Amino acid sequence: MDRLAWRDACRMGVTLLALAAICYGVYHRGAPDGVREIEVTVQMTDQIAEAAEELVGRPLTTEEVELAVADFVDEEILVREAFRQGLDRGDRRVRPMLIEHARSELLRAASYEPAEPTQAMLRAYYDEHRDSYGIPERIDVEQVLFLSGSEQLSSGAVLEELREGADFKRMGDGGRLNASVKGVSRAQMARAYGLDFTNAVFALAKGDWHGPLSSTAGAHFVRIVAVSPSEERSYDDVAEYVREDYALSDAERVVTREIERIGKRYRVEMPRGDEDAK
């Protein structure tokens, strides 16, 4: 079997992010100038073969093991070249994966083992973060969206027509965005249209049309139909989430400590007021 046939059999070849974790130390070994060394150990070969077998669903032949290892070496070269060219610094998809993996390595290096929290500890955590477990204020809203420079908007009669009972779904440039939306929170609206627009909408009185209000999408005319106030949820209602958050917080405490330790290797330069703004 040639390498192209092998990759086709594996659909995408042995492009396993798991191998990046298995062989993480390989990426960071020092190497002399000139030829860069890639060492594939017997243990790594076994792990590569095992991962490839999970992909194809059967034991590999000796030839297929060699092909899987060859694919891994090719990918290792590509990964190293990506780091050398700084591609990891400009890709929003790669950066979070690297950060998450680095966090895992810090926990592993610190021999972190999560302790089982007591009910008292979990309830204390809930009390400290009670607001984050509540149901936020929500609104039912109707809107008409106009894109920038819309001729309809320039007429200045939109608000009057809406207040006189015009069908808002037939107006504007928003198409399906001209709709009734129920139970939208501040966070949801801010992700869609920006914080300034969200603050302006949530400050409106219920019942009448208002606008135009500017957002990242365009100009909106908005009517608040109903307001649902925030609600607190009891510990018993969110106990499962509290346990998960407590575990994440405990791990984050260790990560923060380790970052402070390794951070001493770095010098951070920050902008200094008007000097850097000129």
Instruction: Place 129 in a pLDDT band, splitting at 50, 70 and 90.
Output: very high
Look at 181 and 92; give whichever has higher pLDDT: 181
Kindly tell me the sign of the dihedral angle through the C-alpha atoms of 229, 233, 237, 240. positive
**pLDDT tens, 76-114?**
887 777 777 777 777 777 778 888 888 888 899 889 998
Most confident of 51-55, 97-101, 150-154, 182-186: 182-186
For residue 32, CA distances in Å to 8, 81, 261 come to: 36, 16, 28
Q: Which of 4, 10, 12, 2 is nearest to 53 (CA)?
A: 10
User: Tell me, what's the pLDDT at 21?
Assistant: 41
* The pLDDT of residue 209: 94
pLDDT at 73 > cutoff 80: yes
Q: How far apart are the first and last CA of the chain?
A: 63
pLDDT at 30: 47
pLDDT in tens, 229-244: 999 999 999 999 999 9
Task: Give CA–CA dist 2/77, Å, rounded.
Answer: 20
**Which one is predicted more confidently, 266 or 126?**
126
Average pLDDT over residues 181-205: 91
Tens digits of residue pLDDT in 138-169: 999 999 988 766 666 655 688 888 999 988 88
Q: What mean pLDDT is predicted for residues 260-274?
A: 77
Please give the structure tokens belonging to residue 188: 């949801």
Assess whether pLDDT exceeds 70 at residue 184.
yes
pLDDT at 13: 43
pLDDT bracket for residue 251 (50, 70, 90):
very high
Task: State the average pLDDT for the chain.
Answer: 81
